[in-house]
Amino acid sequence: MRTVEWDGDAVKMIDQRALPWELAFVRLETVEAVAESIRDMTVRGAPAIGAAAGFGMALAARQSAATTVEALIDELQSHAELLKSSRPTAVNLAWAVDKLMKIALSGEFKSADDMREVLLGAAQQIADDDVAVNSRMGSNGAALVRDGATILHHCNTGALATVDYGTALGVIRAAFERGKRIHVLLDETRPRLQGSRLSAWELEQLGISYDIIPDTAAGYYMGKGEVDIILVGADRIAANGDFANKIGTYQLAILAKEHRIPFYTVAPTSTIDLSLSSGAEIPIEERNPDEVTTPYGNRIVPETFRARNPAFDVTPQRYLTGIVTENGIARPPYSRSLARAVAGERLGGGE
Ligand code: MRU
């Protein structure tokens, strides 16, 4: 079962808003609906929204009535902007859209139909590659997890956040599949509760031992010596190693340093944005404050109460022990190791 896939002339995806109560699917037949599914978090997680946007571009091409290559390119350009504006922080979204747009602009097509076929193939390739890349990250990261370890995890970085398998949760899964006895402390991850709703649902399916904890309890367990390693995902990694991830990651990183706990982010090279020199340049999404005051439709404060809702924060690279990629584990200085990983060079540190 994949989180996002092509289905006939539509994009099919798990409706992540319905979990853990119901495993429901939606079938989207327009690029506008795909953009909305990213915005409203029917699909979420950096690699999953990248794959959804890739299929969204393929869908836009198939929907279009354009009969010439030039007319099709014109339409795709505006759909590319629509998709890219649906969520700003995860670079995988722009990465996938730009990849398809570059193919469209390659000048290699004799007809609009040729282009439609090739774009669908490229979108499918992005989805297939994501699964393969996650399995390689799992192998590379599993060696970091010792037998008997308790792992602290934030948000959801599993199969649901990707096309399948996952990034940080993929490393946890790989360690488990290699026979390591592990336990996972899952930050619930307010306000959208990706930890308690989605990561716990995934670990239930996999039979991996876990406890959901309030986000505010992470420091407590670190102080008691109950956390051996912290594994999180990333939505965008700048060239110097600073990275954006789900709100709350930054405070975990500082607590990890205080308690001398290894702190890793796990992300594919498609999440690395070498065009940004530091995390200060990463755009941070601010979502509707209703997600804080009225989580999942339950109003918990009066309507007149005000709230703010940043969806991500930036963790400076100095708090990181390393960055697990499909090409091995990047270590400081990140400006060099990340450039090598993006170039496809093999870094050390895997199995
Ligand atoms: O707002 P979300 O749920 O899309 O945020 C997801 C995260 O922050 C994940 O940690 C990140 O995308 C990496 S997941 C493979």
Would you state the pLDDT for residue 348?
84
Summarised one tens digit per residue, pLDDT across range 107-157 is 999 999 999 999 999 999 999 999 999 999 999 999 999 999 999 999 999
Q: Does 242 have pLDDT greater than 70?
A: yes
What's the mean pLDDT when you consider all of the chain?
A: 97
Q: Comparing C-alpha atoms, which of 147, 164, 167 is closest to residue 264?
A: 167
**What integer pLDDT is reported at residue 351 of this predicted model?**
60
- Percent of all residues in the chain with a pLDDT value above 70, rounded to a whole number: 99
Residues 6+ positions from 130 with CB-CB distance below 8 Å: 47, 50, 51, 162, 163, 164, 268
Ligand 1 within 6 A of CB of 162: yes
**Rounded Cα–Cα distance for residues 205 and 223 (Å):** 30
202 lines ligand 1 (CB under 6 A): no
Q: Is the pLDDT of residue 350 over 70?
A: no
156, 288, 315: residue to mutate for ligand 1 pocket, most atoms within 8 A of CB: 156
Nearest atom of ligand 1 to the alpha carbon of 155:
10
> What's the whole-number mean pLDDT along residues 204-213?
98
Contact 328, 268 (CB under 8 A): no
Ligand 1 atom nearest residue 47's Cα: 15
What predicted TM-score, i.e. pTM, was given to this entire model? 0.97
| Mean pLDDT of all residues in 319-339 | 98
**Does residue 44 have its Cβ closer than 6 Å to ligand 1?**
yes
* Chain segment 59-111, per-residue pLDDT in tens: 999 999 999 999 999 999 999 999 999 999 999 999 999 999 999 999 999 99
pLDDT at 204: 98
Q: Does 323 score more than 80 pLDDT?
A: yes
Going from the Cα of 155 to the center of ligand 1, the distance in angstroms, rounded, reads 7
- Averaged pLDDT for residues 160-175: 98
Mutation to probe ligand 1, out of 135, 193, 243, 246 (largest number of atoms < 8 A from CB): 246
Which pLDDT belongs to residue 284?
A: 98
* Gap between the Cα atoms of 202 and 20, Å rounded: 9
DSSP for 266-316, please give it. Answer: E--GGGEETT-SSGGGS---B--THHHHSGGG---S-TT-----B-EEEE-
